[in-house]
Amino acid sequence: MTDELLLQVENLEKYYAQKRSLKEIALRKEKDPVQAVDDVSMEVHSNQSIGVIGESGCGKTTLLEVLMGLEPLTGGDVIYRGTRMSEFDREDWLKYRRNVQIIFQDPFDSLDPKQRVRTVLYEPLRVHGIEDKEQRAREMLERVNLGPPEQFLSKYPPQLSGGEKQRVAIARALILQPDVVLADEPVSMLDVSTQAAVLKLLSHLTDEMGVSLIYISHDLSTVSYVCDSVNVMYLGRLVEGAPTERLINEPQHPYTQALINSIPIPDPYHERETIELEGAPREPIGLGEGCRFRDRCPERMDICEKTPLDTEISEHHQTACHLYYDHEDESTQVSTGGESQPRESVPADGDDQ
Amino acid sequence: MSQPILEVDDLTIEFQTGESSITAVSDASFSIEQGEYMGLVGESGCGKSTIAKALLGALDKNGRIVSGKILYEGEEIQDFTEEEFNEKIRWKEIAMIPQASMNSLDPIQPISRKALEIADAHTDLSKSEALDRFKEAFEIVGLQPSRISEYSFQFSGGMRQRAIIALTLFLRPTIVIADEPTTALDVIMQDQVLNYIKKIREETNSSMMMITHDISVVFETCDTMTVMHSGQVAETGPVTDLYDSPTHPYLMLLQDAFPDIRYPNRDLEVIDGYPPELTDKADFCTFVDRCPWAVDECSQTAPRLESVTDRSVSGDGSDSTHKVACIRKDEVPQLNEERKRQGRTTADGGSDEGDLP
Amino acid sequence: MSRARFFVVRSIQTVFLLWVAFTGLFFFFRFMPGDFTNLMLAEGANPDAVAEFEERWGLNDPLYIQYWRYFMNILSGDAGMSIQYRRPVWDMVNTRIFNSFILIAPGITFAYLLGSIYGSIVGTKRGSKLEEFGILPLIFVGSFPAFVTSIILVIIFSSWLNLFPTSGMISPGRQAEFAQLEWYQRYLSLEFVWHFILPFTAVMFRYLYLPTMIMRTSIVEVMGQGFAFFHRITGISKRRQLAHLARHASLPVITVYPISMTRALGGLVLIEVVFNWPGIGNTLVNAVMVRDLPIIQFVFFLVAAYIILANFLVDIVYGIIDPRVSVGAEDA
């Protein structure tokens, strides 16, 4: 398999303007924007599955919406096979939307209850002018283990179980044979017994069809089954990224450590060491300079008032934390001038470029 | 062993929907001792929340207890009227942290007023005594006592949930039912809530029935657990017994289906099929269609809960609290071992400590 | 935002709106083609007489002076003179305005109270015959204009059963007697009540379906909310639980109250005709015919004020019931 750079996220920024009251507009009072995604960089190569984890409100869903083209970006760029999203024309968008697909969190919401499975699967094919719909739909249903296909094609979503619905959603996302699939908490609404099946299916299909996956979730334990590498997001920024096992076994950033330690272990004999984080993340408004985790960080230092830069701890393992770079010697830092380097995830066949 | 504080005995609950009826709980039995934390585990729709509602006499209008008993401190409460439940059970004896508890506070009622309303309905406490107690409860769950008179919408989601926990605690109930207390939460928030739940344990001697689909939460916080499948109790007993020697096929598969962060490469077990929809009390094992070791007999009679002879502990185990409802209970563990040996590349699932830092 | 602040802000906004309505109406009528003088000219009046008329009424003064004068006069309770009748506008409309007000406001208000109670009963009896059919008669009645209902009521209760008078506010022949009373005393008399029952009933039944339907839907929705279940399991009495639910469910009903109050104005004239009610409707129609601007302008302003105040009242009630509106969510 060739290693191709598909998606490049470059210092991506998505700010939302806050609503202003009439009075504030009249007085020309500016309000700080909501910094949903801030200076996020990462690369997606072919046949990669990358996880993005973080608490709700960390901006992971916004990141996905921008990548999907549902929300316009406000800074930085997304580069798809060499073309910048900020310069996409109609043609480019059509191509992009065909090749980048999404699976939503809630299969109960993301399928129209009044559309048969057949209609759901034909729709993308119709939009992109693809013939032999029937054939493709059947094949796809078989691939997601919904057989026999005839039986499912004429069903309505309310006649399906949660797991079956999510399989239909996966089939819908994969039927156009995209390059990249974005998945937003695809199993969080499912029962454990079904969850495992959907996770396996997702992992298996992306391998088999050569599709790259960006999987966002708050739950590292499910992400770890599917993804080769994981990025950790906190308040709009990526704070750490590493191959999955390395991240789980040697988390560097204090936030990642807390996140991993707060996952309960299905073992009554296991005494989990918890790092109890107080409170919740701040509102992503007026964040200013400094490490965004500093108000909850157990390792807080004075230097944390300055924004930490990305540091390469070992190969493919980066973190943005003051604990890990020598402040005397600026040369140890990966980047200079406040711009973070694109996070490289493990390329599929180790062929680093 | 003393008399359990709560005993559910062959409980069957039905819901009337139009012409037909659905059996949500079918001959379920389990018990909770004083001070004990029990996890009630199962998939959505297995009847675990229905049981919780029945304990408080708060089934939906179309639901009714068809047969069986609920014994609270030895007294049968299943036929109590709404007034009797108000007077004898609700909140003073059994209190509940409802599912989606973030939306359980009345948005147009200050939280302290709710507390006073509850105190007024169940105690002789004066207004100031009740408020003092409520402030204490607020402190236990890490909320500022000065904020008791605020409205729920002035609190964040996590704080609302803690306020509910405070309301649950402040009359010092004998049993607290927590219905999916952490389901909608991020791991960090979940961890915070679990810590408060552990704290309740230190501060009070309440028992708890924790309803969840997440066995890892039960393994961490509970003493005993009861596993349900489609209205039937599959297995019940101390968590360590159920962890060491799961005996019902459902629990075995469930354990292997559950992701464990320590073993990201372990193959996850898939439980095929779906639980059946019961229109009547089940006279068969509801797991039969999903069970890899089902035999004809499984669909002919509903298995009874019977004590498990614990393989890891010597003794005959006839009075063991570890019980299972499976007619092949003596063969299944063996069969499971064989299955695992046959070509399954399951990671070292038996070791206690993983390779966490 | 504190509650007190909410009420102060709303009051200021209301006063501001009243001023906007007042000013808007003033300039609207000033710039409207075809005023009284044009009409005089069109009917062949002597241009000199018209000029003299304009001079006398101050119509040649700059507009802002006219506006200021009118504004100050209104504040001191003087709404000008009727051009047609040469009588002070206020004297002509004061009792009539009140007659109209008392014809619709109590009827609609009572419809909302009754509808809310009936709606919650129907809503809580889910799946019963009452829930299925309980609202149909109300929709039937509500689908007719109020004057049709009025005529039917008059035919049944006045003509056939002879229980109530067919028309008027006070029986003929007793006008003189009532003229001597203080203005409010006549509304407290049995005589008035006897005349009032039919029009009141007509208005009430016409508007009963709306609050009933909203309340039914609303209470069903509220019963499904998490806090409804929570109230139940905390073991508080049934009565208290219902009180909580009703408080919530009444919110959407309150929202549409001023809409009904406004809509009722549309049917007002016809009801007044049917019952021969000495209300403002007749006077207004008359005034419009002859372009008697002082009357029209003042009545329009009163109507605007009535709508603005109805909304204000609702805001206040809403703010008292629902703290989310008046206290506002703060960041926790």
pLDDT band at B55 (very low <50, low <70, confident <90, very high): very high
Q: What average pLDDT does this structure show over B258-263?
A: 87
- Does C227 sit within 8 Å of B104, measured CB to CB? yes
The span from the CA of A279 to the CA of B200, in Å, is 19
Position A180: which residue type? V
Strand spans (E) along chain B? 6-17, 20-32, 37-41, 63-72, 75-76, 94-97, 175-179, 207-212, 224-229, 232-238, 306-307, 323-324
Instruction: Give the burial string for A150-163 (b: 16+ CB within 10 Å, else e).
Output: eebbeeebeebbbb
pLDDT given at position B311: 54
- Taking CA–CA distances from B143, the nearest residue in chain C reads C332
pLDDT given at position B59: 92
Residue B233, both tokens: 């109790």
pLDDT given at position A122: 93
Name residues whose C-beta falls within 8 Å of residue C6's C-beta, 6 or more positions apart in sequence. C319, C325, C326, C327, C328
CB atoms within 10 A of CB B200: 21
Closest partner residue to C235 (CB to CB) among B85, B107, B159 is: B85
- Does A265 sit within 8 Å of B219, measured CB to CB? yes
Q: Answer whether residue C149 is part of any domain.
A: yes
Chains in contact with A, where contact means 3 or more Cβ–Cβ distances below 8 Å, are: B
- Does A199 sit within 8 Å of B219, measured CB to CB? no
The span from the CA of B116 to the CA of B118, in Å, is 5
CB atoms within 10 A of CB C229: 21
Q: Is B240 on the interface with A (CB under 8 A)?
A: yes
pTM of the model: 0.83
- Does B109 sit within 8 Å of C330, measured CB to CB? no
- Does A221 sit within 8 Å of B259, measured CB to CB? yes
- Count how many domains chain C has: 1
The span from the CA of C308 to the CA of C15, in Å, is 9
Give contacts of B 13-72 with C, CB under 8 A: 56, 58, 61
Q: Answer whether residue C87 is part of any domain.
A: yes
The torsion region of residue A239 among left (phi > 0), alpha (psi -120 to 50) and beta comes to: alpha
The span from the CA of B121 to the CA of B132, in Å, is 17
Q: What is the tens place of the pLDDT at every residue in B117-162?
A: 999 999 999 999 999 999 999 988 888 999 999 999 888 888 888 8
pLDDT given at position C3: 80
Position B72: which residue type? Y
pLDDT given at position C39: 67
Q: Which of A18-27, A246-255, B7-16, B208-217 has the lowest mean pLDDT?
A: A18-27
pLDDT band at B348 (very low <50, low <70, confident <90, very high): very low
Name residues whose C-beta falls within 8 Å of residue B183's C-beta, 6 or more positions apart in sequence. B99, B212, B213, B214
Among B16, B4, B29, which residue's Cα sits nearest to residue B228? B29
Question: Could you say which DSSP state residue A328 is in?
Answer: S
Q: Is the pLDDT of residue B314 over 80?
A: no
Give contacts of B 127-156 with C, CB under 8 A: 151, 153-156
% helix / strand / coil in chain A, to the nearest 5? 35, 20, 45
Q: Is B84 on the interface with C (CB under 8 A)?
A: no
Instruction: Give the burial string for B8-44 (b: 16+ CB within 10 Å, else e).
Output: bbebbbbbeeeeebbbbbbbbbbbbbeebbbbbbbbe
- Does A263 sit within 8 Å of B187, measured CB to CB? yes
Helix (H, G, I), strand (E, B), or coil: what is residue B284? coil
CB atoms within 10 A of CB C185: 11
Residue A204, both tokens: 């298996």
Among C103, C104, C139, which residue's Cα sits nearest to residue C122? C139
Residues in a beta bridge with B176: B95, B208
pLDDT given at position B221: 92
- Does C247 sit within 8 Å of B108, measured CB to CB? yes
Residues in a beta bridge with B306: B324
Helix (H, G, I), strand (E, B), or coil: what is residue C278? coil
- Taking CA–CA distances from A276, the nearest residue in chain B reads B192
Name residues whose C-beta falls within 8 Å of residue C215's C-beta, 6 or more positions apart in sequence. C115, C116, C118, C119, C120, C123, C249, C250, C253
∠C318-C322-C324 over CA atoms, to 5°? 120
Q: Answer whether residue C64 is part of any domain.
A: no
ipTM confidence: 0.88
Judging contacts by C-beta atoms under 8 Å, the chain A residues touching residue B213 are 191-192
Q: Is the pLDDT of residue B176 over 60?
A: yes
Q: Are the C-beta atoms of residues C277 and C169 closer than 8 Å to each other?
A: yes
Q: Is B264 on the interface with A (CB under 8 A)?
A: yes
Q: Are the C-beta atoms of residues B112 and B171 closer than 8 Å to each other?
A: no
Q: Is the pLDDT of residue C5 over 90?
A: no
- Does B91 sit within 8 Å of C233, measured CB to CB? yes
Question: Could you say which DSSP state residue A302 is in?
Answer: G
Range of the domain at C229: 3-32+79-326
pLDDT given at position A278: 74
Q: Is B289 on the interface with A (CB under 8 A)?
A: no
Name residues whose C-beta falls within 8 Å of residue A265's C-beta, 6 or more positions apart in sequence. A272, B216, B219, B220, B260, B261, B262, B354
For residues A341 and B66, which has the higher predicted lDDT (pLDDT)?
B66
Sign of torsion over alpha carbons C61, C62, C64, C67: positive
* Shortest alpha-carbon distance between residue A240 and chain B (Å): 17
Phi, psi values for residue B111, rounded to 5°: -60, -40
Sign of torsion over alpha carbons A317, A322, A323, A329: positive
pLDDT given at position B318: 52
Q: Looking at residue C235, which CATH number applies to its domain?
A: 1.10.3720
Q: Is B162 on the interface with C (CB under 8 A)?
A: no
CA Rg, chain A, in Å?
A: 21
Q: Answer whether residue C276 is part of any domain.
A: yes
Q: Are the C-beta atoms of residues C22 and C71 closer than 8 Å to each other?
A: yes
Judging contacts by C-beta atoms under 8 Å, the chain A residues touching residue B271 are 193, 196
Among A277, A202, A274, which residue's Cα sits nearest to residue A51? A202
pLDDT given at position B37: 95
pLDDT given at position A338: 41
Q: What is the tens place of the pLDDT at every residue in C271-295?
A: 888 888 888 888 888 888 877 888 8
- Taking CA–CA distances from B188, the nearest residue in chain A reads A262
Q: List C-alpha distances in Å: A13 to A39, A53, A62, A81, A89.
A: 5, 18, 10, 20, 21
Residue A109, Cβ density class (10 Å: 0-12 exposed, 13-18 middle, ≥19 buried): exposed
pLDDT given at position B72: 95
Q: What average pLDDT does this structure show over A75-96?
A: 92
Residues on chain C bordering chain B, Cβ-to-Cβ distance under 8 angstroms: 126, 225-227, 229-238, 240, 244, 247-248, 321-324, 327, 329-330, 332
The span from the CA of A90 to the CA of A73, in Å, is 17
- Can you spell out the DSSP letters for A95-109? HHHHHEEEE-S-HHH
- Does A267 sit within 8 Å of B243, measured CB to CB? yes
Sign of torsion over alpha carbons B89, B95, B100, B105: positive
Q: Is B181 on the interface with C (CB under 8 A)?
A: no
Residue C40, both tokens: 């005089």
The span from the CA of A159 to the CA of A106, in Å, is 16
Residue A17, both tokens: 């303007």
Q: Are the C-beta atoms of residues A251 and A240 closer than 8 Å to each other?
A: yes
- Does A225 sit within 8 Å of B268, measured CB to CB? yes
pLDDT band at A327 (very low <50, low <70, confident <90, very high): low
pLDDT given at position B343: 54
- Taking CA–CA distances from C247, the nearest residue in chain B reads B108
Judging contacts by C-beta atoms under 8 Å, the chain A residues touching residue B265 are 245
Residue C44, both tokens: 């062949």
The span from the CA of B354 to the CA of A272, in Å, is 11
* Shortest alpha-carbon distance between residue C130 and chain B (Å): 17
Q: Where are the alpha helices (DSSP H) in chain B?
A: 48-55, 82-84, 111-122, 127-140, 157-169, 187-203, 215-221, 239-244, 249-257, 332-341
Q: What average pLDDT does this structure show over A162-186?
A: 91
Q: Is the pLDDT of residue B180 over 60?
A: yes
Residues on chain A bordering chain B, Cβ-to-Cβ distance under 8 angstroms: 55-56, 161, 191-193, 195-197, 199-200, 218-222, 224-225, 244-245, 248-251, 258-260, 262-270, 272, 274, 276-277, 280
The position carrying tokens 């004590």 is B307
For residues A30 and A67, which has the higher predicted lDDT (pLDDT)?
A67
Percent of chain A surpassing pLDDT 70:
91
